[in-house]
Amino acid sequence: MKNEVTLLRPENFDALDAALQQSSAAWTFVAGGTDLLVQKEKWRKATHIVDLTALPELHQTIEINSKVIRIGAAVPYGDLIRHSELKTYLPILVHACELIGAAQIQNRGTIGGNIANASPAGDTLPVLAVLNAELLIGPRQKGEFKRLSMNEIMIGPGQIQLKPNEYIAFIEIPILQSPEPLWDFRKIGQREALAISKLSLAVLLWKDGKHVQDVRIASGSVAPVIRRHHKTENILNGQELNEQLIEKAAETLKNEINPISDIRSTKEFRKEITANVLRDILHQWL
């Protein structure tokens, strides 16, 4: 049976921050509820719940200016997929959102929930890592959100660097330097659709003639935390993209990741397949 519950549906940041700062209760945030409601134990124990979807800035913001793209943490994936301009600026992110769940999940699930849930299999996490995303964290102190880099927020499976009652307000993504990078996001699951990733790989690559000018690589499901793979990036940066270089990068990536064996795959399979996916991605850009 569910305990007695206090439910808050703040309609602006002042109301949200005041409630969090004036109460000693441990609040549980809910956005789409697609992770939280299936984590029955956590949901059953929640006594103070904040529904983030009544706050328009969190639930509706998709702003694009000359420097950054700002997305409200509680904007559903479906709104990102259907946004008229986002695909032009962030095709890799829109593509990753399209691969998440099916229409029901896309219309409820949010990036903020994906990040805060901190699953190594969260599909937007490697994409946000290669996009060098920053997170704006509330409650505001003296009117300002705290900033955390996507590359430092995750500290372990299910663990992120948020203090009790801190929430993700916005995700900010710097506009990508021109010329536009080549990009790919691959997700390998048990089947094509509606599957949790056995591994995912996000790559952005800028090419200057035959040479790799800059590259960013991050993977999902093959390490306890999502981080950029700087060793593999350094193998590629500044070099001519050819068969030998691709082989060297794939072998480096194999040693840079640290997968586990679980019900979905063995450690060895994940290492091999991650290297193969990188080979395949880079080959298309030879």
- Interface contacts to ligand FAD, rule CB under 6 A: 28-36, 38, 52, 73-74, 100-101, 105, 108-110, 112-114, 116-117, 122-123, 167-168
State the nearest-atom distance from the C-beta of 250 to ligand FAD, in Å: 25
- Minimum Å gap between C-beta 260 and ligand FAD is 18
Residue closest to ligand FAD, measured at CB: 113
- Residue 152 or 180 having the CB closest to ligand FAD: 152
Question: Which of 42, 144, 59 is CA-nearest to residue 110?
Answer: 59
Give the C-alpha separation, 260 to 246, whole Å.
Answer: 25
**In the block, residue with structure tokens 């994409």:** 127
- From the CB of 283, what's the least distance to ligand FAD, in Å? 26
**Closer Cβ to ligand FAD, 182 or 196, answer by number:** 196
- Which of 212, 284, 204, 283 shows the shortest CA–CA distance to 250? 283
Residue number, 73 or 93, with CB nearest to ligand FAD: 73
The Cα 89–Cα 111 span in angstroms is 17
Q: Which is nearer to ligand FAD, 164 or 209 (CB)?
A: 164
Q: How far apart are CA 202 and CA 227, in angstroms?
A: 11
The Cα–Cα gap between 230 and 237 comes to 10
* Cβ 50 to ligand FAD shortest distance, Å: 9
| Angle between helices 267-283 and 243-256 in degrees, nearest 10 | 150
Q: How far apart are alpha carbons 160 and 284 in whole angstroms?
A: 35
Length of the chain: 286
- Nearer Cβ to ligand FAD, position 160 or 241? 160
* Minimum CB–partner distance for residue 208 and ligand FAD (Å): 33
Q: C-beta of 117: minimal distance to ligand FAD in Å?
A: 4
Nearer to ligand FAD, 32 or 181 (CB): 32
Q: Residue 68: is it exposed, middle or buried by C-beta count within 10 angstroms (0-12/13-18/19+)?
A: middle
